[in-house]
Amino acid sequence: MKVISKGTLYLFTFYLLLSPFPTTLFAQQKAKRIAVLDLQGEGVSKSAAKTLTDRLRSKLVNTGVFHVLERDQMDEILGEQGFQQSGCVSDECLVEIGRLVGVQQMIGGTIGKIGQTYTLDLRIIDVQTGRILKTVSDDYRGAADGLLGILEDAAQKIAGKKSVKKKKEDDGGSTWYYWVGGGVVIAGAAAAILLGGDKGSGGGSDLPGINDDGNIWPPK
């Protein structure tokens, strides 16, 4: 029977400490198990709400903070239990679903539209205590596809990370005014120099011009 030397044991332990495997394993164990109930659409079609919910799940996975239960798995488990998801909007209902599917936290909420403004309201509920851990709300005015960016920002907020929301396009687009204005000023200055030069070279004006030798005329 071979006996492992202390030196070999120390080297092996040192390797494990430096290896990313323990860190990755620890992060996986620490990650919360969550499930996302389909967002309730208010002024938004059911298919759009379903698509936006799927995007929210994907963005939550990308944060690396959660183990997100897939839609098909959740539907299968609830189907076996004879549980109907439709009409489930209360916190108590979310807790019941969370216990059935075996997650630690549940996310539910609404995606609505008022006039030209979209509204997003999410709440994260602890399944064990039934307590609301966090709420995330945001408003967006623009084309419907811009909601995809709002959901990415919401996922970061849920994960407790820094917001990744981009500056509004209007902020960058408004700078065209300064470029156009600057161009007008430069063009005007160039025209003034040319007109001044023509008058000066003719000798019929008191305004300074540029003569053939490149000197200012008349001299000051």
- Residues 184-208: pLDDT tens digits? 445 554 444 444 555 444 444 444 4
- Residues 26-51: pLDDT tens digits? 344 478 999 999 999 999 999 999 99
DSSP string, the chain: -----HHHHHHHHHHHHHSHHHHHHHHHHHSEEEEEPPPEEESS-HHHHHHHHHHHHHHHHHTTSEEEPPHHHHHHHHHHTT---TT--SHHHHHHHHHHHT-SEEEEEEEEEETTEEEEEEEEEETTT--EEEEEEEEEES-GGGHHHHHHHHHHHHTT----PPPPHHHHHTTHHHHHHHHHHHHHHHHHHHHHHHHHHHT--SS-EE-TTS-EES--
Domains and CATH numbers, the chain: 25-160 (3.40.50.10610), 178-217 (no CATH)
What pTM did the predictor assign?
A: 0.62
Contact 74, 101 (CB under 8 A): yes
For 49-58, 62-71, 140-149, which range has the lowest pLDDT when averaged over its residues? 140-149
Q: What is the mean pLDDT of residues 77-83?
A: 91
Which amino acid makes up residue 116?
A: Q
Contact 60, 92 (CB under 8 A): no
Q: What pLDDT is stored for residue 70 in this prediction? A: 95
